[in-house]
Amino acid sequence: MNSIYDMFSMIILLSGIVLIANKRSLSYIRTFQVQSLVITIGALIMAAETQHLELLIVGCLMLFLKVIYIPKYLRRTYNKVTHEIHKDFYLNIPILSFIACLLVVICYISIYQIPLISAKGVVTPLSCNLAIVLIGLLFMISRKDALGHIIGFLVIENGLFSTALFTTRGMPLIVDLGIFIDLLTAIIIMSMIIFQIDTKFQSTDTDKLHNLRG
């Protein structure tokens, strides 16, 4: 079954590369939704394989929160704000894609050189999912739109969750529930901040926050 989880990890990594190459906010949300769906399917397959009720509950929560509720909430937020950003990123897409691929290579080489991890056969899922964390961070700092920052944060969380899921076969249910509650709270707060930015500047371009300097 390890090959299946390796495949899921590589699909998740591919979704991160696609996310970096996207240029539209709605595409960000759609890519995050697909990425979350892949992780959810992996969690449900693992729950069926291990007969763990906790993993089944986590998979159902992910399906509701990350695949259905949060993308719908973000689309509603997107439709309520003004969009006047002509270029949503600081670097060109080819450069960002190259940096993302470089991060993947660095993660793989670094993890492969650790004997204990190599012996357990989790190099592929660990390197792919840790690369997703770094790609999410890259995405967050390379976008000007506040909505892109939220998506970057969500991708980082996806990377951390999938790392724990595919390399250690999941975390305790109480830990997962705490993460989901914190995640939902953070999304609501960030959306409120987006509305405030849009109300003040008639745009969600975070570069305009420099105007608040005294």
User: DSSP letters of 123-188?
Assistant: HHHHHHHHHHHHHHHHHHHHB-BHHHHHHHHHHHHHHHHHHHHHHHS---HHHHHHHHHHHHHHHH
- The residue that leads in pLDDT, 185 or 148, is 148
User: What span, in angstroms and rounded, lies between the C-alpha atoms of 130 and 135?
Assistant: 9
- Give residue-wise pLDDT tens across range 111-145: 888 887 765 778 888 899 999 999 999 998 888 77
Encoded tokens for 101: 């691929």
What's the pTM? 0.82
57 confidence band (pLDDT: 50, 70, 90)? confident
- In the prediction, which pLDDT does 176 show? 65
Angle of CA points 123, 125, 131, to nearest 5°? 95
Residues 49 and 2: beta-carbon distance below 8 Å: no
State which H helix or E strand residue 29 sits in.
helix 25-50
208 confidence band (pLDDT: 50, 70, 90)? low
Average pLDDT of the residues in 96-105 = 93
Q: Which residue type occupies 148? A: G
- In the prediction, which pLDDT does 214 show? 46
Best CA proximity match to 32, nearest among 124, 139, 173:
139
pLDDT of residue 51 exceeding 90: no
- The residue that leads in pLDDT, 177 or 211, is 177
- The residue that leads in pLDDT, 88 or 100, is 100
pLDDT of residue 166 exceeding 50: yes
Average pLDDT of the residues in 73-101 = 79
- Classify the C-alpha dihedral 110-42-164-73 as positive or negative: positive
- In the prediction, which pLDDT does 135 show? 95
- Classify the C-alpha dihedral 116-118-119-125 as positive or negative: positive
Average pLDDT of the residues in 76-88 = 68
